[in-house]
C-alpha cells in the first residue's frame, strides 16, 4: 500500500482533496492530510510517505523548503507541487527537483487526480525494475556470498567467544571482503520468504538470490550490509548505517529502515510474486552479542499474527538475555535440527515428512542405541516447544513423552510422537486464530470509543504495536473490509444516532465523529447516506 500526504494551509482545499483521494483506491492508497509544512515533517519522521501533494507557497515554511527535508529523509518519495500562483520563479525551482511535478490549482481536481495516478504508476514500475538487473552481477557475487555466509554463520554459533577480539575480527573481515566495521555496533534483520508449496531446492536458491538483489538496490544508499541464509532457511542481514545517516535522519534511522523494508516487501511481491516478513533489532548491538540478538529475532518471528502476510516486526527491547542463559543441549542429527525449524515455523507437512524419514532410518541405518537417542532427541524438540509456549495443560497425555519404556516398541513410540506433534500443530493453528481475533477486536473497540480523535492508519498502528502496512492488510484479511471503510461506517452509524438527539447541534455531532469542519462532515454524511445531516434529522422528526 502506498501513502499519500496532502499539505496545504487552505483547509477547504486540503479537506476536499483528502476526501477525493481517500475513496479513490482504498486498497492501494493510504491518505493523510496536514495544514502546514511543520506538521508534514512530523508525519514524515513517523512513517514512510511515498507521495507528497503540497502547496508550493505556505506560511512559515514553503513547499520547496519542505521538499529539501523530504529528499534527505525519504529520497524515493515523489513530490507534486500545487499552487494558485503561475509564478515562473517558483515553477522553475520546482522543476529543478528530480522527479517532482508542478500543477496549478486552476487545472482542477480531475487533472490533480490524473497526475497522482500517473506518479503512483511510476512508483510501481520503479519497484519492478529490480527484476532487470544484470544476471552477471549476481553470478560474480555468488561465490563471495557463499564464503562470507559460511564465516558469519560460524560467528553466529558463539559470538560471545568468537567476536571477543575486535582486531582479529577486523582482519577476517578484510580477507573475506566483508564490508562491515568490526569495531562498530551492528543491526540484525531476519527475513522470512513465503514460498509456494512444492518449491524445489534450486528454485528456492534462485528466489533468495533475486531477493538479495532487490535488498541491495534499496539499502546501498544509507547503509553497508551483508546477508546469508540461516539454519532455518531464513535470510539474516547484518547492517550498519553510514556515518552520515545519523545527521540525515536525526536519530530516527530505524524509521527510515522500517519504511525501506516495506518498499522491499512491495518489490518482492511485484517482482517475485512472494511475500517476505522481517524481524528487526530495535537498536544496534555489539558483535559479541549477535548470537543472543539473533535468537531474540527468531523467537519474535515465531509469535507473529497471521502467516503469509508481509510485515515488519521491530524488537523494541534493548536488553539482551544474561550471558549465563545459554542452551547447553545435545548434538542433534541434521534431520532433527530441521525438525525443530519446521516446528517453529509452523510447517506441518514438512515436519511430518522429516519425522517419517527419521522413523524409516531407525530401522535401516542406525544401531539400537542410536535409535533410542533419536527418539529422545525428537521428544526433546516437542518438549522444548511446549516449555517455551506453556502449553502443557492444553496438550492431552504428554506424560509418556520422555519415557520410551512406556511404549510397547520403538515403532509405537514414534507413532506417539507423530500424534503429539499433530496435536501441537492443531493447537498452534487455533491459538493464532484466537490471537488474530483478539487483536482486531481491540482495534475495533478503540475505534468505537475514539471516533472524534485521530484514527489514521499510522496512529492505530502505533497504539497497537503494528506496522502500518501490515495492519492494513491484516484488518482487510480478518474483516473483509478496508480499515478506512470500517472507520467511515462507524462514524456514519454514530452520526445517525446523535442526529436523533434534537438538542445537539450538527457542529457538535461533526466534532464527536472526528470532523472539525462542518462542511467536510456534510460531504461525508451525504456520500454515505444520500442526505445532508439536516435532511436526515428532518426525516427522523417527520417519522415520529
d(CA 213, CA 243): 23
Task: Please check whether residues 99 and 150 belong to one and the same domain.
Answer: no
Task: Please check whether residues 309 and 414 belong to one and the same domain.
Answer: no
Let me know if residue 500 belongs to a domain.
yes
Q: What is the DSSP string of 434-489?
A: HHHHHHHHHHHHHHHH-TTS---HHHHHHHTT--HHHHHHHHHHHHSS-HHHHHHH
Question: Is pLDDT larger for residue 248 or for residue 181?
Answer: 181
**What CATH number has the domain bearing residue 47?**
3.40.50.2300
The answer on pLDDT for 85 being more than 80 is no
Pair 191, 276: CB distance under 8 Å: yes
In 480-517, alpha helices (H)? 483-499, 506-512
Helices (H) and strands (E) in the chain, counts: 22, 10
Task: Please check whether residues 34 and 182 belong to one and the same domain.
Answer: no
Boundary (domain end) residue, out of 373, 398, 431: 431
The answer on pLDDT for 130 being more than 60 is no
Q: How far is CA 331 from CA 51, 376, 481, in A?
A: 53, 12, 49
Report how many domains make up the chain. 4
Let me know if residue 326 belongs to a domain.
no
Boundary (domain end) residue, out of 286, 315, 344: 315
Q: Domain of 196?
A: 145-315
* Tens digits of residue pLDDT in 207-233: 888 888 888 888 877 788 888 888 878
Query: How high is the pLDDT of residue 121?
Result: 87
Let me know if residue 136 belongs to a domain.
no
Query: How high is the pLDDT of residue 303?
Result: 45
Task: Tell me the pTM.
Answer: 0.56
Burial state string for 296-326 with b = 16 or more CB within 10 A and e = fewer than 16: bbbebbbebbbeebbbbbbbeeeebeeeeee
Task: Please check whether residues 392 and 462 belong to one and the same domain.
Answer: no
Let me know if residue 482 belongs to a domain.
yes
When pLDDT is cut at 50, 70 and 90, the band that residue 326 belongs to is very low
* Tens digits of residue pLDDT in 497-511: 999 988 899 999 999
Least confident of 37-51, 97-111, 139-153, 484-498: 139-153
Task: Please check whether residues 340 and 310 belong to one and the same domain.
Answer: no
The answer on pLDDT for 300 being more than 90 is no
* Tens digits of residue pLDDT in 465-488: 778 888 888 888 888 899 999 999
Let me know if residue 327 belongs to a domain.
no
Amino acid at each position: 500500500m502506498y501513502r499519500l500526504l496532502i499539505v496545504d494551509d487552505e483547509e477547504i482545499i486540503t479537506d476536499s482533496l483528502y476526501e477525493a483521494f481517500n475513496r479513490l483506491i482504498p486498497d492501494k492508497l493510504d491518505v493523510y492530510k496536514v495544514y502546514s509544512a511543520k506538521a508534514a515533517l512530523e508525519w514524515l519522521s513517523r512513517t514512510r510517505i511515498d507521495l507528497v501533494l503540497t502547496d508550493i507557497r505556505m506560511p512559515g515554511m514553503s513547499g520547496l523548503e519542505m521538499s529539501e527535508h523530504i529528499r534527505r529523509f525519504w529520497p524515493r518519495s515523489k513530490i507534486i507541487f500545487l499552487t494558485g500562483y503561475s509564478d515562473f520563479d517558483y515553477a522553475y525551482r520546482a522543476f529543478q527537483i528530480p522527479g517532482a511535478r508542478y500543477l496549478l490549482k486552476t487545472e482542477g481536481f480531475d487533472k490533480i487526480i490524473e497526475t497522482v495516478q500517473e506518479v503512483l504508476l511510476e512508483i510501481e514500475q520503479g519497484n519492478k525494475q529490480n527484476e532487470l538487473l544484470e544476471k552477471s552481477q549476481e553470478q560474480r557475487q555468488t561465490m563471495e556470498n557463499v564464503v562470507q555466509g559460511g564465516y558469519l554463520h560460524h560467528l553466529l554459533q558463539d559470538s560471545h567467544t568468537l567476536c571477543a577480539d575486535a582486531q582479529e575480527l577486523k582482519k577476517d573481515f578484510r580477507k573475506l571482503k566483508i564490508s562491515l566495521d568490526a569495531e562498530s555496533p551492528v543491526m540484525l534483520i531476519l527475513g522470512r520468504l513465503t514460498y509456494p508449496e512444492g518449491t524445489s531446492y534450486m528454485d528456492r536458491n534462485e528466489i533468495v538470490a533475486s531477493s538479495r538483489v532487490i535488498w541491495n538496490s534499496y539499502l546501498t544508499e544509507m547503509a553497508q550490509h551483508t546477508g546469508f541464509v540461516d539454519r532455518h532457511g531464513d535470510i539474516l542481514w547484518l547492517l550498519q548505517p553510514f556515518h552520515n545517516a545519523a545527521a540525515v535522519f536525526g536519530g530516527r534511522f530505524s524509521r527510515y529502515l522500517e519504511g525501506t523494508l516495506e518498499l522491499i516487501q512491495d518489490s518482492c511481491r511485484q517482482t517475485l510474486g512472494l511475500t517476505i516478513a522481517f524481524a528487526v533489532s530495535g537498536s544496534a548491538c555489539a558483535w559479541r552479542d549477535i548470537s543472543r540478538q539473533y535468537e531474540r529475532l527468531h523467537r519474535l518471528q515465531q509469535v507473529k499474527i497471521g502467516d503469509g502476510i508481509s510485515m515488519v516486526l521491530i524488537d523494541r527491547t534493548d536488553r539482551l538475555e544474561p550471558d549465563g542463559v545459554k542452551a547447553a543441549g545435545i548434538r542433534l542429527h541434521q534431520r532433527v535440527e530441521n525438525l525443530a525449524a519446521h516446528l517453529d515455523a509452523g510447517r506441518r507437512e514438512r515436519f511430518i515428512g522429516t519425522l517419517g524419514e527419521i522413523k524409516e532410518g531407525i530401522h535401516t541405518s542406525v544401531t539400537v542405541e542410536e535409535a533410542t537417542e533419536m527418539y529422545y532427541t525428537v521428544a526433546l524438540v516437542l518438549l522444548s516447544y511446549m516449555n517455551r509456549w506453556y502449553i502443557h495443560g492444553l496438550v492431552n497425555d504428554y506424560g509418556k513423552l520422555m519415557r520410551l519404556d512406556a511404549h510397547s516398541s520403538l515403532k509405537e513410540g514414534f507413532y506417539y510422537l507423530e500424534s503429539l506433534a499433530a496435536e501441537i500443530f492443531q493447537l498452534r493453528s487455533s491459538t493464532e486464530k484466537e490471537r488474530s481475533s483478539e487483536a482486531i477486536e481491540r482495534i475495533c473497540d478503540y475505534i468505537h470509543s475514539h471516533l472524534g480523535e485521530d484514527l489514521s492508519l499510522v496512529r492505530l498502528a502505533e497504539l497497537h504495536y503494528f506496522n502500518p502496512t501490515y495492519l492494513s492488510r491484516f484488518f482487510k484479511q480478518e474483516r473483509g473490509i478496508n480499515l478506512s471503510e470500517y472507520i467511515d461506517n462507524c462514524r456514519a452509524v454514530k452520526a445517525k444516532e446523535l442526529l436523533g438527539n434534537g438538542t445537539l447541534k450538527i457542529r457538535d455531532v461533526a466534532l464527536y465523529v472526528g470532523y472539525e469542519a462542518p462542511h467536510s462532515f456534510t460531504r461525508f454524511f451525504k456520500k454515505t447516506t444520500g442526505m445532508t445531516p439536516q435532511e436526515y434529522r428532518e426525516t427522523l422528526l417527520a417519522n415520529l
